Amino acid sequence: MSQKQTTTISVIKADIGSLAGHHVVHPDTMAAAAKVLAEAKSKGIVIDYYVTHAGDDLELIMTHRKGVDAPEIHETAWNAFREAAKVAKDLGLYAAGQDLLTDAFSGNVRGLGPAAAEMEFIERPAEPVIVFMADKTEPGAFNLPLYKVFADPFTTAGLVIDPKLHDGFKFEIYDVMAGKYVVMNAPEEMYDILALIGTPGRFVVRKVYRKSDNEIAAVVAVERLNLIAGQYVGKDDPVAIVRAQSGFPAVGEVLEPFAFPHLVAGWMRGSHFGPLMPVAQRNARCTRFDGPPRVVALGFQIKNGRLIGPADLFDDPAFDEARRQAQVIADYMRRHGPFMPHRLGPEEMEYTTLPQVLQKLQSRFVESKLYQVKGPKVKTELLHE
């Protein structure tokens, strides 16, 4: 009996320049990228593709048979971004080529600026997949929703009543500072999982697997752009892929956590906390204070590698209340101005442009003899001594 063929879905994104500030992708740049992917399809490199955007990020959704981290696929995406960036420069768009941190492709886009979420699987007879695309935030923005989808029975009823889900899921959690990861089981290690992912700026849910058979359920792009570049060049704006139905949470269960516009890091200059607003594709335009942070959800069926769809899943009045709450939260947070907790804490601001402002003040600080701070030094290498 021959082994069944696998399908890979790759979602690779980059900010290659946008119209009127960090606002929205220009259609001409999307057309330039689509031309590259169309050529790749004609050559059999990809089976199918869909080009879209979330705010100022150009999003490439591709299906193929080459597996995760395939150089040919990543090079195709890189070439698409390069062509789109050329158009952006010709049009004088803002921050043209921002996420392309080098001129040379080295076999994989990881570490070069773009972010990638990819998963490989054997297609089910019906294969519903949701692609989430966020703007003005970081990869840890998906921590809370993915925990609720795959570990919270108050969100996902299937964890209680569906025998295919009842055994739970495994979370692969990545430490973006140390470059290490740990795999933990839910529900057995729920509290330990929360101890980590409750710090989304450092510990990020990278993958989720069904525990009963190790089948891939979800994957997140975990690239932290400022850590790659060594300086602030824009927020990470992550993407995620989630499989749904028939042994995985239902589409409605996957979407449910986004009815709560939880606070995420990013927004203006990547330096502020704000609500993650679920929006329709047509409203994936970040304007107010370059935000607030947005997330788009596109639903596809995948059949023999073909992308059927998409369905614009947040284009629904059922999420109007979440959007209204996000507006209220945005008002409340904005009134803090430059004060925490609207502005990020010092450990996060270290990777923004604020240190350049503070540097000039260093020589003006005078040693105080009033008291000396004593006590144990804070460990920075959590779990990795």
CA distance 268 to 263: 14
User: pLDDT higher for 54 or 236?
Assistant: 54
Q: Is the pLDDT at 287 greater than 80, yes or no?
A: yes
243 is in an annotated binding site: no
Q: Which of 45-59, 91-105, 147-161 has the least mean pLDDT?
A: 91-105
Average pLDDT estimate for 38-53: 98
Element (H, E) at 63: strand 57-64
362 is in an annotated binding site: no
List C-alpha distances in Å: 316 to 270, 313, 321. 28, 7, 11
If we measure between CA atoms, which residue out of 343, 320, 322, 332 comes closest to residue 267?
Answer: 343
Ranges 61-65, 106-110, 137-141, 200-204: which has the least confidence: 106-110
Q: Give the type of residue at 76.
A: T
- The answer to the question of whether 135 is labelled as a binding residue is yes
- HSE-CB for 87 with a 13 A CA cutoff: 21
In this model, does residue 224 exceed pLDDT 80? no
pLDDT at residue 63 above 60? yes
Q: Which of 38-42, 106-110, 265-269 has the largest mean confidence? A: 38-42
**Percent of the chain scoring above 90 in pLDDT:** 78
Residue ranges with strand state E in 101-259: 115-121, 128-135, 169-175, 180-186, 203-210, 215-220, 239-243
pLDDT attached to residue 385: 41
Per-residue pLDDT for 382 more than 70?
no
- Determine whether the annotation assigns residue 283 to a binding site: no
- pLDDT mean over 184-198: 98
Tell which residue, 126, 123, 120, has the closest CA to residue 245.
126
pLDDT at 1 (0 to 100): 39
- Residue where the block lists tokens 């019906």: 126
Task: Answer yes or no: are the C-beta atoms of 139 and 204 closer than 8 Å.
Answer: yes
For residue 90, pLDDT over 70 is answered with: yes
Query: Which structural domains are found in the chain, ordered by start?
Result: 1-120 (3.30.300), 123-379 (no CATH)
Catalytic sites, residue numbers? 15, 232, 235
pLDDT tier, 375 (very low <50, low <70, confident <90, very high otherwise): low
* Terminal C-alpha separation, the chain: 49
User: What string of DSSP letters covers 227-275?
Assistant: HHHSS-SS----EEEEE-SSSS--HHHHHGGGGS--EEEESGGG-EEEE
Whether residue 57 is annotated as binding a ligand: the answer is: yes
- 152 labeled part of a ligand binding site: no
Averaged over 348-363, what is the pLDDT? 81
374 has binding-site annotation: no
Pairwise CA distance, residues 220 & 236, whole Å: 12
Average pLDDT of span 168-195: 96
Supply the angle between the helices 71-90 and 27-42 in degrees, to the nearest 10: 150
For the ranges 12-21, 305-314, 375-384, the lowest mean pLDDT is seen at 375-384
DSSP 3-state assignment of 328? Answer: helix
Model confidence at 380: pLDDT above 70:
no
Band (347; pLDDT cuts 50, 70, 90)? confident
Distance from C-alpha of 51 to C-alpha of 61, rounded to nearest angstrom: 6
174 a known binding residue? no
CA 126 to chain centre: 25
Mean pLDDT of the chain: 91
pLDDT of residue 266: 94
Instruction: List the beta strands (DSSP E) in 69-149.
Output: 115-121, 128-135
**Could you give the CA distance from residue 385 to residue 203 in angstroms, rounded to a whole number?**
16
Cis peptide before 114 (omega within 30 of 0): no
Looking at residue 352, its pLDDT comes to 75
Q: CA 190 → CA 170, 195, 209, distances in Å?
A: 10, 9, 15
Write the pLDDT tens digit of every residue in 95-149: 998 878 777 676 777 777 789 999 999 999 999 999 999 999 999 999 999 999 9
166, HSE (Cβ side, Cα atoms, 13 Å): 5
pLDDT at position 384 is: 45
Instruction: Report which of residues 380 and 35 the model is more confident about.
Output: 35
Which two three-digit tokens encode residue 64?
Answer: 């193929």
Q: What is the mean pLDDT of residues 183-199?
A: 98
Across the range 248-262, mean pLDDT stands at 98
Look at 352 and 4; give whichever has higher pLDDT.
4
Average pLDDT over residues 317-336: 98
Q: Annotated binding residue at 325? A: no
**Residue 94 assigned as binding residue:** yes
How many residues make up the chain in this entry? 385
Instruction: Check residue 197 and give its pLDDT.
Output: 98
Task: Please check if 99 is assigned to a binding site.
Answer: no
Q: Would the annotation count 106 as a binding residue?
A: no
Three-state DSSP class for residue 129:
strand
